[in-house]
Amino acid sequence: MTQTDMLAALREDPKRGIALVIRSYAALAEKTVRSSGGTALSKEDAEEIVSDVFFSIYEARDRLDPEKGSLASFVITLARHKTVDLLRKRGGSAAELPLNETLESGSDVENDVLRRETSRRLALALIDLGEPDATIVARRYYLGESYASIGKRVGLSENAVNKRCLRALKKLRSVLEKGE
């Protein structure tokens, strides 16, 4: 089922639509939460965050626009933000928060701002890749999945995923170099 089909189902039959989205993206949300929260989260915390991610998608179903980014990217972004929000709400120390979300003590603020800006530009460029390239790159480099695993998920051969990933990385590199 395509992202467009899932979004249409979310709007027409929300109960069925959210079930399709959960079935397709639950593992992605769980892995993102675990990698973002590390040891600072209990199993129950992680489950609560994943539930919140899909509730947010359900609530935003009429506003989701596939032209602005993939559903996978939205799930990853929501999962990371909700994880960091929970840790901050609990008064998490800088050591408990994901490194790319905090300023390290003694770090150069200018370098930190540049790193965050580069991350923001990379995220926007990733969204601009479109599907399935954005999903391939996100799963390969954010989640560490193998080409074979990604291929099974997106319906392409391992070789095709590898080639698409290499082309996508060239595009991303070009976008980032133009911005500097």
Q: Model confidence at 107, in pLDDT bands (50, 70, 90)? A: very low
Q: Which CATH class is domain 1-102?
A: mainly alpha
What pLDDT is stored for residue 90 in this prediction?
73
Q: CB of 70 within 8 A of CB of 124? A: no
Q: CB of 135 within 8 A of CB of 100? A: no
- Enumerate long-range contacts of 160-169, CB under 8 Å, 24 or more apart: 161/136, 164/132, 164/133, 164/136, 165/133, 165/136, 165/137, 165/140, 167/133, 168/129, 168/133, 168/134, 168/136, 168/137, 169/137
Q: How many CA atoms, within 13 angstroms, populate the side-chain half-sphere of residue 33?
A: 28
Q: Kindly report, residue by residue over 11-53, the tens digit of the pLDDT.
A: 999 999 999 999 889 988 888 888 888 777 888 888 999 999 9
- CA-CA-CA-CA torsion sign (80, 86, 88, 94): negative
Is the model's pTM score more than 0.75? no
Instruction: Identify the weakest region by mean pLDDT among 4-13, 99-108, 130-139.
Output: 99-108
Q: CB of 81 within 8 A of CB of 57? A: no
What pLDDT is stored for residue 69 in this prediction?
77
Region(s) of the chain under CATH 1.10.1740.10? 1-102
Taking the C-alpha atoms of residue 159 and residue 180, their distance in angstroms, rounded to an integer, is: 32
Q: CB of 176 within 8 A of CB of 124? A: no
Q: Kindly report, residue by residue over 144-163, the tens digit of the pLDDT.
A: 889 999 999 889 999 999 99
What pLDDT is stored for residue 104 in this prediction?
42
The predicted model gives 52-60 an average pLDDT of 90
Distances (CA, A) of 25 to 47, 125, 126, 145, 150: 14, 21, 18, 14, 13
Q: Kindly report, residue by residue over 60-91, the tens digit of the pLDDT.
A: 888 888 777 788 888 888 898 888 888 878 76
Region(s) of the chain under CATH 1.10.10.10? 103-180
CATH number of this structure's domain 103-180: 1.10.10.10
